[in-house]
Amino acid sequence: MQKILVLRFSSIGDIVLTTPVIRCIKQQLPDVEVHYLTKSQYKGILEHNPYINFLHVLDKPLWKKAIELKHFGFDCIIDLHNNLRTRIIKGILDVPAYSYNKLNFEKSLLVNFKTNNLPNVHIVKRYLDTTKALGVLDDGKGLDYFLPPTFHFNPNIQLPESFVSFAIGAQHITKRLPNEKIVEICKQYGKSIVLLGGKEDAENGEWITQQSGKHVINLCGKLNLNESAYVVSKSEKVITHDTGMMHIAAAFQKEIISIWGNTVPEFGMTPYYGNKEYLNSNFETIIKDQIRNSKFEIPNLSCRPCSKIGFKRCPMGHFNCMNLQDTKAIADAAKV
């Protein structure tokens, strides 16, 4: 049996974006055992994935974990993080490794000199480039997110019969709309909206709800990740910033209204649904319904992108990439 170790330590969206790699390896190699190493706080994203045989977490110093993993006798490593820590693990395990190209130089050119030499290739495709040497190719099916088989949503929370989810948070302030702009969208939409976010978004969610009206429900800080994913799966559409919840929504094949601040779609991390056509397990051609997506960004800003990740505040002070967003157009996109 061939044993393959997949490496991706963080974060929510990046890990969800690796799921096609896991599935393709498991389904296309005849006798394979798939292992995955990530940080402990992200194990919930993967622990119910049927294509993973063993899920490992970084629960001890890196070198100790690498020595522990060495005993499994891996045949190769698929490195989907490609940083110093994964290089240490690859060095200690000393087996063939295939690492994805982060394109850091090209990203730096775009951020610092506004010169775009990035290939027009989604990051999922770049992840899957690592498996070509194994004869594993893209199956075109898109992303996966698996809820626990015994999952039950909180019975004390009543969801509207029909609603749009709005993931109001982001890892960095420059990737999210100001609260006032979110309120404008909620008011202009006028129908049921469920706000999603972590504990750090709870206060913002409460203020937005108070300012917007009774048609807005604040669930920020009240749900775990699987519960939030369930809400997304029941949504008519999802409004979101460039965050992990955007990729979870894509895994559920939801129509997404994405709002872009300091980051840009050219980085290759837009909502990913796979190919329009793919072969199922019986080698029958499946044609997906077209999913209409809307991307909102302010074009021709000389300062954008200012970072490939984000900042606590706008470096220029004006925050035009979010302050100039057309809230009516965003609300209208959610209505259609």
pLDDT of residue 50: 98
| CA pair distance 220, 205, nearest whole angstrom | 6
**Both tokens of residue 95?**
């087996």
5 closest CA partner among 68, 55, 62, 65:
55
- SS3 letters for 136-203? CCCCCCCCCCCCCCCCCCCCCCCCCCCCEEEECCCCCHHHCCCHHHHHHHHHHHCCCEEEECCHHHHH
pLDDT of residue 336: 72
**CB-CB contact of 134 with 22 (8 Å):** no
pLDDT of residue 19: 99
Counting Cβ atoms within 10 Å, is residue 234 exposed (0-12), middle (13-18) or buried (19+)? middle
Q: How many helical (H) and strand (E) elements, i.e. helices and strands, does the chain have?
A: 12, 13
pLDDT of residue 227: 98
The contacts of residue 158 (CB under 8 Å, 6+ apart) are none
Q: What are phi and psi of 173, to 5 degrees?
A: -55, -35
**Both tokens of residue 69?**
């993993």
22 closest CA partner among 36, 43, 41:
36
106 closest CA partner among 92, 120, 86, 93:
120
**Both tokens of residue 104?**
């850091």
Tens digit of pLDDT for each residue in 251-301? 999 999 999 999 999 999 999 999 866 656 555 555 666 677 899 999 999
pLDDT in tens, the chain (336 residues): 999 999 999 999 999 999 999 999 999 999 999 999 999 999 999 999 999 999 999 999 999 999 999 999 999 999 999 999 999 999 999 999 999 999 999 999 999 999 999 999 999 999 999 999 999 999 999 999 999 999 999 999 999 999 999 999 999 999 999 999 999 999 999 999 999 999 999 999 999 999 999 999 999 999 999 999 999 999 999 999 999 999 999 999 999 999 999 999 999 999 999 986 665 655 555 566 667 789 999 999 999 999 999 999 999 999 999 999 999 999 999 997
Chain-centroid distance of CA 148 in Å reads 19
Amino acid at 37: L
Going across the sheet that includes 216-218, the strands are 216-218, 193-196, 164-167, 237-241, 255-259, 294-296
| CA pair distance 138, 286, nearest whole angstrom | 15
**What's the number of CA atoms in the CB half-sphere (13 Å) around residue 45?**
28
**CB-CB contact of 29 with 136 (8 Å):** yes
Q: Domains in the chain, start-ordered, CATH in brackets?
A: 2-134 (3.40.50.2000), 164-335 (3.40.50.2000)
* C-alpha dihedral (115, 120, 123, 129), degrees to nearest 10: -120
